[in-house]
Structure 1
Amino acid sequence: MKVSKATLDDIDRLQQFRRDAATWLADRGSDQWSTSYPEALLRASIEAGDVFLFHEADSAPVATVTLDTQADPILWRPEEVREPALYVHKLTLASPGSGSGLGSQILDWCGDRAAKAGARWLRLDAWTTNTDLHAYYRSQGFSYLRTIHDEQAYSSGWVAQRPAAFHDVGFDGPEA
């Protein structure tokens, strides 16, 4: 698997990942990601160098994740924000639910980047009503902290974390 940073030329593909995931989720009864993600926010994340693409050899991207230091103050308490952490956002696979293990590998890659950056935690938030996703993250070693019911959290108020840890997932490329 090859890892690269997304560029502004990737915006259409990244938006397509989200639309495809929303369709897959809707087929399972979830309204997660049923609204489009604001392009201005996506552009800002790309320009900050926080959006990554995962490719099989030289093929089209098969997954994406945004990994940054941005702790949403609605979700994370001040004492948590003071702890060094990286935050996972918008982890999306081209083939969700395939059982390939790619999502797990990407989370381990994120945890490795967090550990290398000196972070104590790898953190994320998930759609409040997506209990299947909560179970998945728990199976990946994340500990549930709380659920925030605040409309400013955009229905993504289930928060969890796991210790940052070194992993060799075998990804390559300049961003691996």
Structure 2
Amino acid sequence: MEILKSICTDIDTIFDLYKKGTEHQKKVAKKHWRGFDRFLVEKEISEGRQYKIIMDNTIACVFAIDYTDPFIWGEKNKDPAIYIHRIATNPDFRGKFFVRKIVEWAKEHARKKNKKFIRMDTGSGNEKLNTYYESCGFKYQGIVKLQGCDNLPAHYKDGTSSLFEIQLPYFPG
């Protein structure tokens, strides 16, 4: 298993995984993704913030990161944090505990970037997913109902999002 930066030629596979992830979300949760802007993903790739997990020469999982997330995290956005977004797993590789692998990668990445927190959000109401995130080291931070989220993907416009955070104990600042 390897975590690598995604490249431009990965974009169709990334969107295929988003589509398959959305189909899975519709089966297990009330809230699901509603598509993503291709320009957003192209920008993440060009900025080196879109990643892929490779297993058996196949893209098994993708995720994106950011270093700011003011629309979701509000005042806490001032904290030095890395934000994980849009984890999508190839159905052939489900059950491989990729979030745990992403967390280990993110801890090292955060350390290199002098970040104190690893954060993520997910649609509220999927207790199985919330429990899984907590088993990966995240602490539940509550629920947020977003207002004025025109700059965010469509799935943020309805319902609420659950927030999760890992505080790194070795923060140098």
**Band the TM-score falls in, shorter-chain normalisation:** 0.7 to 0.9
Residue pair 1:112, 1:165 contacting (<8 A) in 2 also: no
Residues 106-145 of structure 1 aligned to structure 2 (within 5 Å): 106-145=102-141
Identity %: 19
Residues 9-24 of structure 1 aligned to structure 2 (within 5 Å): 9-24=9-24
Root-mean-square deviation (Å): 2.1
Task: Give structure 2 stretches of 5+ with no counterpart.
Answer: 150-155
* TM-score, structure 1 normalization: 0.82
The residue that corresponds to 1:38 in the other structure is 37
The residue that corresponds to 2:71 in the other structure is 74
The residue that corresponds to 1:103 in the other structure is 99
Q: 1:37 to 1:146 in 2, by over 3 A?
A: same
SS of corresponding position for 1:87: strand
CA distance in 2, matches of 1:85, 1:75: 13
Task: Give structure 1 stretches of 5+ with no counterpart.
Answer: 167-176
The residue that corresponds to 1:61 in the other structure is 59
Q: List structure 1 segments (4+ residues) > 4 angstroms apart after TM superposition.
A: none
Residue pair 1:6, 1:51 contacting (<8 A) in 2 also: yes
Identify which range, 150-159 or 123-132, moves more after superposition: 150-159
SS of corresponding position for 2:21: helix
Residue pair 2:31, 2:123 contacting (<8 A) in 1 also: no
* Structure 2 counterpart of 1:157, from 138, 152, 161: 161
Identify which range, 118-127 or 131-140, moves more after superposition: 131-140
CA distance in 2, matches of 1:106, 1:50: 13
SS of corresponding position for 2:72: coil
